Structure formats: structure tokens, C-alpha cells
């Protein structure tokens, strides 16, 4: 029997995660413990959520360059309003989600390039974040803090949270009707339109869902760090895009994989730790991280080529 293409796509991120994990355990056997794993992966949870958010945008053939600043903005709101005046905080976050939905509609109706619109919006979010929290500080809401430092038996919180995110995103995006519709818009918008669906509604929901995941990412991040700062999550923009691609997604055509995206986020987080364990100086780490990314993507490309060869009888 031939392995299905989806399984093959998932194989690369899983294999690279396991390889990196093996490398980390070899260098630092003490990481092979409850606490060690939690420490390795807990910063991956907000990144995984942001990656799923980015994946939703990419599912409709767009790209969100404001992901990092938006998560930072959410983190600032969470560390201030959500802690001091929960109702107001929740309203602000809801308004932010509504803004995202509106962006999706505007991008479609005016036929604007999403990267330009979101790049513009990234300055808006960054500005708002600085206004809310001019200096690093704030306090995490107790419940967010409690969730993030909880210690469930046997398996560390970071692993459980990642698995939950993956399963939930998979059900939502790969199994539900709404998910099919969103991916359909990415695959062939005209055919979805011809079937009588509203593209506006589909795009608005994709963007709104993405914003929901990004909000969750921001709150998780504050729960972990206990405070926030206006630049706290700037690298999330590129990390989330890399995570989606690493996890088997494509920039166009609605080909995405939520489980792959979460694994991609974990892999990227792990790559950082791996390099630290290798005692590579921080000056070189970003470059080395890029090298790892290129290697994994080259592997993907190779497999894609095999796949397209195998696809044609």
C-alpha cells in the first residue's frame, strides 16, 4: 500500500522533532525528566497557538505580518486591563478579534495584498501596545498564571497543552464544515463561490478564528512570563510562518496541517535549546537556527518532489 501523501507530509516535521529531541537528550540527559521537558517546551505553547493562528490566515492564501505585534498587544492588554478590570480587558480583546474579521473582509473586497495590510496593522498594534504599557511590567491574571504553572501528574503541562492545541485545531480546521469551507477558499475560491457560499463570511471567520488563537497565545505568554512588554513577541511573526511551513503547510492552495503546525512550533523552540546546549554563542544562534530551518525545508522539498513523481502513474 502506498503511504498517503498527508502522512508523508507529517513525517518530516515529526522526524525532525524527534531528531532534535534525541540530540538534546544526548547533550543534556537531565532534560529527560518531567521538569526538563516542561522547561524545554513551555515557551512553545504560545508559539504553537500563534502558529495555528498564522496557519488559518495562510489557509485562505494570505499572510499575516502583524502576528508578532498583535500577540505583543494582547500580552500587554492581558497584563494590564485583563488583570485590573477583566470585563474591560475582555471587551478590548473582543474588539481586536472583530478588527481582524474586518481586515479579512477589507482585504478581500478591495483586493488588497494581505501582507501590505497586515504590515501596516503591525505598526498600529505595536503603537497600541506601547500606549498601554510604555515600560515593561504589568501582572498576569491569576488564572492564566495558574494554568501555565500547573503541574499535572505524569506528563508536563507544556506537552499536554501542545497536544490539546493540536487536537482542537485539527478538529476545528480539518474536520468541521467551517474548516472545510476555509480551506476550500484557499484551494479554489471560485468553486466555493459558485456553490453559493459567501466568501466574505468565510474569510471573516478565518481571520476571526486566527485572532482568537492569537489572543490565546498572548494570554499564555503572559501566564508564563508573569509580565509583559510591548516587544515581547515580535519574533512570533516569522516563527509562526516558519512553523506552518515546517509543519507541511504551503503558502498557497489551502494546504495546511494543524498537527504539523504545532509540531513545527515545537521543533523551532527546541532548535533554540539545542543550540544553547551545543554551547554555540548567542551571536551565531540565529544563523544556526536559520540553517536548521533550511535543512528541514530542503528535506520537505525533496519529499514533495518524490510525492509528485509518485502521484503520476
- For the chain, give the number of residues: 313
Among 4, 30, 151, 283, binds another protein (CB under 8 A): 4
What DSSP element (H or E) covers 136?
A: none
Among 191, 200, 291, 302, binds another protein (CB under 8 A): 191
Of 35 and 188, nearer to another protein (C-beta) is: 188
Residue 184 found at the interface with another protein (CB under 8 A): yes
Of 201 and 280, nearer to another protein (C-beta) is: 201
Among left, alpha and beta (phi > 0; psi -120 to 50; other), residue 188 is beta
Cβ-Cβ contacts under 8 Å for 45 (sequence gap 6 or more): 148, 158, 161, 162, 165, 220, 224
Residue 201 found at the interface with another protein (CB under 8 A): no
Q: Is 95 exposed, middle or buried (0-12, 13-18, 19+ CB in 10 A)?
A: exposed
Contact 246, 13 (CB under 8 A): yes
Nearest-Å Rg of the Cα atoms of the chain is 19
Residue 186 found at the interface with another protein (CB under 8 A): yes
Rounded CA-CA distance 13/240 in Å is 14
Residues 226-265 that bind another protein (CB under 8 A): 253-255
Site track for another protein across 127-166, x = CB under 8 A = ----------------------------------------
Least distance in angstroms from the C-beta of 196 to another protein: 5
Among 23, 36, 136, 187, binds another protein (CB under 8 A): 187
Residue 309 found at the interface with another protein (CB under 8 A): no
Residues contributing to the site for another protein (CB under 8 A): 4-6, 175, 177, 180-181, 183-184, 186-188, 190-197, 253-255, 311, 313
Amino acid at each position: 500500500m502506498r503511504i498517503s501523501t498527508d502522512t508523508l507530509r507529517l513525517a518530516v516535521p515529526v522526524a525532525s522533532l524527534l531528531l532534535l529531541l534525541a540530540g538534546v537528550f544526548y547533550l543534556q540527559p537531565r532534560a529527560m525528566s518531567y521538569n526538563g521537558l516542561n522547561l524545554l517546551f513551555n515557551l512553545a505553547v504560545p508559539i504553537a497557538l500563534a502558529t495555528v493562528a498564522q496557519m488559518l490566515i495562510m489557509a485562505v492564501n494570505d499572510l499575516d505580518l502583524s502576528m508578532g505585534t498583535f500577540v505583543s498587544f494582547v500580552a500587554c492588554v492581558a497584563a494590564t486591563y485583563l488583570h485590573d478590570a477583566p470585563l474591560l480587558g475582555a471587551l478590548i480583546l473582543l474588539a481586536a478579534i472583530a478588527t481582524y474579521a474586518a481586515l479579512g473582509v477589507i482585504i478581500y473586497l478591495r483586493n488588497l495584498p494581505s501582507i501590505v495590510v497586515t504590515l501596516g496593522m503591525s505598526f498600529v498594534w505595536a503603537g497600541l501596545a506601547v500606549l498601554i504599557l510604555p515600560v515593561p511590567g504589568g501582572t498576569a491574571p491569576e488564572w492564566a498564571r495558574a494554568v501555565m504553572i500547573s503541574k499535572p501528574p505524569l506528563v508536563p503541562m507544556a506537552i499536554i497543552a501542545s497536544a490539546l492545541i493540536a487536537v482542537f485545531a485539527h478538529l476545528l480546521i480539518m474536520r468541521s464544515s467551517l474548516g472545510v469551507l476555509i480551506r476550500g477558499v484557499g484551494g479554489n475560491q471560485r468553486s466555493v463561490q459558485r456553490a453559493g457560499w459567501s466568501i466574505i463570511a468565510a474569510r471573516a471567520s478565518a481571520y476571526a478564528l486566527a485572532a482568537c488563537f492569537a489572543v490565546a497565545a498572548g494570554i499564555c505568554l503572559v501566564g508564563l512570563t508573569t509580565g509583559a512588554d510591548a516587544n515581547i513577541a515580535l519574533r512570533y511573526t516569522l516563527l509562526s510562518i516558519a512553523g506552518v511551513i515546517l509543519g507541511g503547510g504551503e503558502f498557497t492552495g489551502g494546504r495546511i496541517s494543524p498537527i504539523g503546525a504545532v509540531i513545527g512550533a515545537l521543533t523551532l523552540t527546541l532548535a533554540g535549546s539545542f543550540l544553547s546546549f551545543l554551547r554555540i554563542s548567542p551571536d551565531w544562534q540565529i544563523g544556526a537556527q536559520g540553517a536548521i530551518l533550511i535543512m528541514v525545508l530542503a528535506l520537505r522539498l525533496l519529499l514533495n518532489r518524490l510525492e509528485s513523481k509518485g502521484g503520476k502513474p
